[in-house]
Amino acid sequence: MFSWVEMLLAKTLTSVAAKPIVATMTRTASTSGYELGLLAAAGVLTIIPGAIVIWFVRNYIAKGFALGRV
């Protein structure tokens, strides 16, 4: 639900040059279908930064809180 709201807000409130990846990925649809290779590449590039942040938080920050260090 939140991703649909994000996409709708991005498509209506931002300028053409400053759109999130979700709004850009919806433009790959054409009359011949979706460009699946482009969608897969954009999906992977979208997931990688979030995975790095989750890994960093899990390995460093959460361990520090568990050991009593802030």
Q: What is the pLDDT of residue 18?
A: 65
User: In whole angstroms, what is the distance from residue 6 CA to residue 12 CA?
Assistant: 10
Work out the angle at residue 12's Cα, subtended by the Cα atoms of residues 42 and 41, and round it to the nearest 5 degrees: 5
Q: What is the pLDDT of residue 17?
A: 66
pTM for this prediction: 0.52
Query: pLDDT (tens digit, 9 = 90+) per residue, 5-64?
Result: 777 776 777 666 666 677 677 777 777 777 888 888 888 888 898 899 888 888 888 777
Residue boundaries of the structural domains of the chain: 2-66
